[in-house]
Structure 1
Amino acid sequence: MILYSKLSDDELAVLLRDGDKTAFSEIYHRYKGILHVHAYKKLGDFEEAKDVIQDLFSTLWLKHKDMPLTTNISGYLYITIRNKIFNIIAHKKVISKYTDSITSFIDENNFTTDLIMREKDLASIIEKEINALPPKMREVFILSRRKNMSHKEIANTLGVSEHTVKNQIKSSLKILRTKLGLILYLALLLKF
């Protein structure tokens, strides 16, 4: 009868390649603790380290026939666990970048949507106040600001003096500034 605990790593590796379950069990018990400590130090999560060790030994058993002929089983296990840890860390970085990207997109999209809504609200408020101007004043204002007509062109179109056009525009701007100033202040105050 073989006393597996007395066998060297090299002897256990040969037996493992031949499918000896007891050799596998001995390797597992020799190295699971030290590998778990190493994985825990690198990952910072006890359960995740435990899962990595479980995965390592599951893979080792499933692929025991393909295990390279090595005289250093501890080195082989260490390199394998190191690579698994690197893969986990790389995967976490990808997930983190993806999460940050999604969060950033959502934040920007919400900001853009909010900005568009505010612009529409503001345009609606301005239009409402322009429509509330006295009819002649509104007409002069619209010809000046929307049709880009000069004071002379407006005066000729409406059959009034340029001085009247100038006064109507000045008065409409004063009214709008007063009304919109208070409304915009309250609108911005209520939005935040």
Structure 2
Amino acid sequence: MEKLDTDSIDYLLWSISNNDDQVAYRSLFEQYYVALCQFARRYIDDQETREDIVQDVFFTIWEKRKTIAPCTSARNFLITCVKNLSLNHLRNQGYKQDYETTLQKKLPLYLEDQDDIYTLQELQNLLNKTLEKLPTEYRLAFEMNRFENKSIEEIAEIMGVSSRTVKRYKSRAIEILREELKDYLPLFLLFTRFLN
């Protein structure tokens, strides 16, 4: 299924609520399921529990679709639902902890908005911004190999360096990207082969 522009998330929720639109529901799920599971990681360490929570959110959206206010921000709605279910789960498990402190410890340092969730396009933009910060040689070796499918030997010839040097550039680029994008690595691994 073709991914809709992220600006359409509010329309998707509206269409689910007003038109019982199953295609919009499926699209909303496909675009945000993985991102919401990653968001739930701020509260819940267990992957299976996170997936259950997010599935429960989507189940509830469909079951209670007629009660969703038409002017609701879909992104905020999804985030709030996942956050509330996650905190409820922790309370039900008998955790006696300061949720805000726990949340702050798990947040990536570079997040501008604590409630960010990312679609594939947003992750691609994040990757591109990180690539721009790499030294030119590292970036070129990485991009030619991963985006243009050029072999190490082809890159070495183009760059006028040895194959060993290209391997070192590429390896160092991957190390830096893994470090810079570590909080989003599970999402990148699901969507891309860039950091393998």
Q: TM-score range by the shorter chain?
A: 0.3 to 0.5
With structure 1 as the length reference, what TM-score do the two structures score? 0.45
Q: Which has the higher contact order (CA 8 A, sep 6+)?
A: 2
Q: Bigger radius of gyration, 1 or 2?
A: 1
With structure 2 as the length reference, what TM-score do the two structures score? 0.44
